[in-house]
Chains A and B, each alone.
Chain A
Amino acid sequence: MSSNTDFLLALESVGVSFDGFKAVNDLNLYIDYGELRVIIGPNGAGKTTVLDLICGRTRVSEGSIKFKNQEITGCKEQEIVRRGIGRKFQTPTIYEDLTVFENLELSVPRGRNVAGALFWKRTDEVIERVREIAAMIFLREQLDWHAETLSHGQKQWLEIGMLLIQDPELLMLDEPVAGMSASERTKTAELLKQIIKNRSVIVIEHDMKFVESIAHRVTVLHQGKVLAEGDMQSVQNNAKVKEVYLGH
């Protein structure tokens, strides 16, 4: 039995194996309200798998995942989303054939059933909300563009915007600055600082400079387990971490 928890998100003794290979093994992870947590670790450490487990894309083999003290293992992906967990994928996952506006509009958390979508009205409120988010993700001028014409970095922002418009309590970002230029990275760091105000965020990231610039707490994963956890300073000075990861 898992315990009651005051944390926003609590993973306890979570494990998953693929064909006998334990990608995540006896993992415990707690995310507080309003926290920005960065997960780092070498390739194959199970970082993306952890996000997959939380958002229901991969089913846990054992253990419990609680969101706001409610078990979410076994819930369908869309149910988990509706409870308030948003997830950004590693490569920008947007609707290339639609405009930026339409991409954001589809992400507005209303009219999600078939009838609601069929008789959806583009109200002023929706337009206002889309504009507001577009300004936040630096795409105010590009609302009418087809998403496929955006640059890689802009696509990453768009996907973040699509999550923001859902106003999730927990936002999970898988390598949000991958493939971005230096100036785009700086802007993204600002964006993250801005959006964390009302929610918790989990970020997976390789870029240590970027991690340093945003992180509250850092969790180091290695071979599906938590190797170390703490602020950036202590993690960087941790001998085990140096050995498996930073020392490379």
Chain B
Amino acid sequence: MTAVRTDTRRLELIGFALVAVFILIFLPSVLDVFRLNLFGKYLTYAFVAVGLVLCWGHTGILSLGQGLFFGLGGYCMAAFLKLEASSVANTKIQSTPGIPDFMDWNQLTGLPFFWVPFKSLPYALIAVIAVPTVLAFILGAALFKRRVGGVYFAIITQALAAVMTILIVGQQGYTGGINGITDLRTLLGWDIRTDSAKFILYFVCCALLLGSMFVARFVLASKLGRILVATRDQEDRVRFSGYDVANYKIFVFCLASAMAAVGGAMFTLQVGFMSPSFVGIVPSIEMVIFCAVGGRHSIVGAVAGTLLVNWGKTMFSEAFPELWLFAMGGLFIAVVVAFPRGIAGLMTDQILPKLASWMGSGHAQPSPAPAPAE
């Protein structure tokens, strides 16, 4: 509508284009397959960060349990891959051939009923989205209808992430326990461990991420997006304008969870296993930090933040493994204290206006310079 608004819209599209160029062209051309696969893994976290932009940045719902949904998506994918890897031929040394190895070690003699449907890929793919979304719906309906919000919601989601970890670790005959579901090999006969498969999966991941970003953008640009912002700022006014606020929160929470789940499934495919260490409190909070560093109001910022922090983590922990956690903590404090709107906020509030003024009035339009991580 306004000059300012169209400007931010255009900036956002430029940001999208930069992200696309960066992950689709730049990274594949400078990185070997090992590093590219590593960035593919980072990108799976970016799905979660984009979801957090929707539910945290724009609606004000801080979920500290997104790892739960990431993990569920990942586990649904892993279940299918594990069953395919556990054919009778592959597992004939087991006491019960044809079931996953960890079940055999735990004296299970048959496939549990809830594992059976995961023999079908279409079912597994539907489950990747449906299981986390249904859980998010139940959680959202239970909490938002009762007007649980703010810090209470954050604590409950965090507790649930912890519960899920404990459940997975405790029920190792059904879930693979603390080791997770490992030794995944093929997808409908296609070996996902080869370099060429990793290369292709990286691009699938990129495409899905860009798709998620566009979905997020569509939602935020609609009237629903403005209702989310309105809810964040003046929940009562929205309610007294005749909207059922809880429904909007449930919707956005489900959408964020579905995105996290897609990320989890892509993680399983690219990394080749899924374990409880991606479900619990620590990964959930890390994902919030990715989003906060990048800028919780900006889709592009969240993706950039995720890549930057993870790349930093890899670089840093290769050099000083024991110091990484302190660096991460310091980074979070720095974000909260110094630039609460993250990198994206720094860009739009500080750097771009300065650039524009440096370029002087000779140029009618300020041309945004590419950010290092975009």
Q: Give the residues in chain A near B1, CB-CB below 8 Å.
A: 99, 101-102, 144
Query: Of residues B1, B241, B251, which shows the largest number of chain A Cβ atoms within 10 Å of its Cβ?
Result: B241
In the complex, A7 has a CB within 8 A of chain B: no
Partner of A107, one of B239, B241, B248: B241
Q: Give the residues in chain A near B363, CB-CB below 8 Å.
A: none
| CB–CB A86/B240 < 8 A | yes
Q: Given the complex of chains A and B, what is the CA–CA distance between A117 and B233 in angstroms? A: 18
| CB–CB A93/B234 < 8 A | yes
Q: State the interface size on chain A (CB cutoff 8 A).
A: 35
Q: Given the complex of chains A and B, what is the CA–CA distance between A53 and B238 in angstroms? A: 18
In the complex, B18 has a CB within 8 A of chain A: no
A96-B233, A118-B222 known; A78+B251 contact, CB < 8 A: no
B60 to chain A, nearest CB (A): 11
| CB–CB B248/A117 < 8 A | yes
In the complex, A162 has a CB within 8 A of chain B: yes
The segment from B157-165, B205-213, B224-232, B285-293 found at the interface with A is B224-232
| CB–CB A106/B234 < 8 A | no
Q: Given the complex of chains A and B, what is the CA–CA distance between A77 and B243 in angstroms? A: 9
Q: Give the residues in chain B near A98, CB-CB below 8 Å.
A: 226, 229-230
Interface residues of A in 71-105 (CB under 8 A from B): 76-78, 81-82, 86-87, 89, 93-99, 101-102, 105
Q: Give the residues in chain A near B5, CB-CB below 8 Å.
A: 99
Q: Give the residues in chain A near B247, CB-CB below 8 Å.
A: 113-114
In the complex, A18 has a CB within 8 A of chain B: no
0/1 string, B278-298, CB within 8 A of A gives 1: 000000000000000000000
In the complex, A44 has a CB within 8 A of chain B: no
In the complex, B195 has a CB within 8 A of chain A: no
In the complex, B244 has a CB within 8 A of chain A: yes
Q: Given the complex of chains A and B, what is the CA–CA distance between A78 and B238 in angstroms? A: 9
| CB–CB A95/B237 < 8 A | yes
| CB–CB B224/A114 < 8 A | yes
| CB–CB B244/A78 < 8 A | yes
In the complex, A179 has a CB within 8 A of chain B: no
0/1 string, A49-87, CB within 8 A of B gives 1: 000000101000000000000000000111001100011
Partner of A97, one of B2, B233, B236: B233
Q: Given the complex of chains A and B, what is the CA–CA distance between A87 and B1 in angstroms? A: 28
Partner of A78, one of B229, B230, B243: B243
| CB–CB A81/B223 < 8 A | no
Q: Given the complex of chains A and B, what is the CA–CA distance between A97 and B220 in angstroms? A: 14
In the complex, B219 has a CB within 8 A of chain A: yes
| CB–CB A99/B241 < 8 A | no
A59 to chain B, nearest CB (A): 13
| CB–CB A94/B226 < 8 A | no
Interface residues of A in 208-223 (CB under 8 A from B): none
In the complex, A112 has a CB within 8 A of chain B: yes
CB nearest to A105 among chain B residues:
B223
CB nearest to A86 among chain B residues:
B240
Q: Give the residues in chain B near A81, CB-CB below 8 Å.
A: 239-242
Interface residues of B in 111-170 (CB under 8 A from A): none
Partner of B236, one of A93, A99, A109, A166: A93
Partner of A106, one of B226, B236, B239, B245: B226
A95-B234, A106-B230 known; A118+B224 contact, CB < 8 A: yes
Q: Give the residues in chain A near B219, CB-CB below 8 Å.
A: 118
Q: Give the residues in chain B near A57, CB-CB below 8 Å.
A: 236
In the complex, A119 has a CB within 8 A of chain B: yes
Q: Given the complex of chains A and B, what is the CA–CA distance between A166 and B341 in angstroms? A: 35
| CB–CB B227/A106 < 8 A | yes
0/1 string, B193-221, CB within 8 A of A gives 1: 00000000000000000000000000100
0/1 string, B238-278, CB within 8 A of A gives 1: 11111111011001000000000000000000000000000
Q: Give the residues in chain B near A102, CB-CB below 8 Å.
A: 1, 226
| CB–CB B227/A117 < 8 A | yes
A243 to chain B, nearest CB (A): 36
Q: Given the complex of chains A and B, what is the CA–CA distance between A40 and B122 in angstroms? A: 66
A228 to chain B, nearest CB (A): 30
CB nearest to B239 among chain A residues:
A77
- Going nearest first, the 6 A-B pairs with the smallest beta carbon separation are A120-B223, A117-B224, A81-B242, A95-B230, A144-B2, A93-B237
25 sampled A-B residue pairs with Cβ under 8 A: A77-B240, A78-B239, A78-B242, A78-B244, A81-B240, A81-B242, A89-B237, A94-B237, A95-B229, A95-B230, A98-B229, A99-B1, A99-B5, A102-B1, A106-B230, A112-B242, A112-B244, A113-B244, A114-B247, A117-B224, A117-B227, A118-B222, A118-B224, A120-B224, A166-B241
Given A89-B236, A111-B223, A119-B222, 5 additional A-B pairs, CB 8 A: A93-B237, A96-B233, A99-B2, A106-B223, A117-B224
